[in-house]
Amino acid sequence: MKKFWNLLRSRWLNAMPKFFSRICWICTLISGTALAANTAITAGGGTTHEWWDNIYPYLLGIPAGMAFVAKFTQNYDQNGNPVEKHVDS
């Protein structure tokens, strides 16, 4: 199990290609906006329309899944070996 968490940690610290970085940023923005809107409506004591209840899970789930895949995508060299490029923090 420790090996799995170390693998996730190393992929989290890997450098992302610019294209995937933009996908991650846009998806996080969409999910965050949907979450904030739903929280504001609920906290204000309002009720949501049926169409919002239908699309809300998709507005959170799909962009979050896309951001996860974009973040944990691994680069490979010409021989098919994973390339480890860690970002110094």
Compute the average pLDDT of residues 56-80. 81
Residue 83 pLDDT > 50: yes
Q: Which amino acid is at 49?
A: H
Residue 64 pLDDT > 70: yes
To which residue do tokens 């610290």 refer? 13
What is the residue extent of each domain of the chain? 16-71
Percentage of residues in the chain having pLDDT higher than 90: 30
d(CA 14, CA 33): 27
Read off the pLDDT of residues 25-62 as tens digits, 9 standing for 90 and up: 898 899 999 999 999 999 999 998 999 999 999 999 99
Helix (H) or strand (E) holding 36: helix 18-43
* Straight-line distance from the first to the last Cα atom of the chain, in angstroms, rounded to the nearest whole number: 25
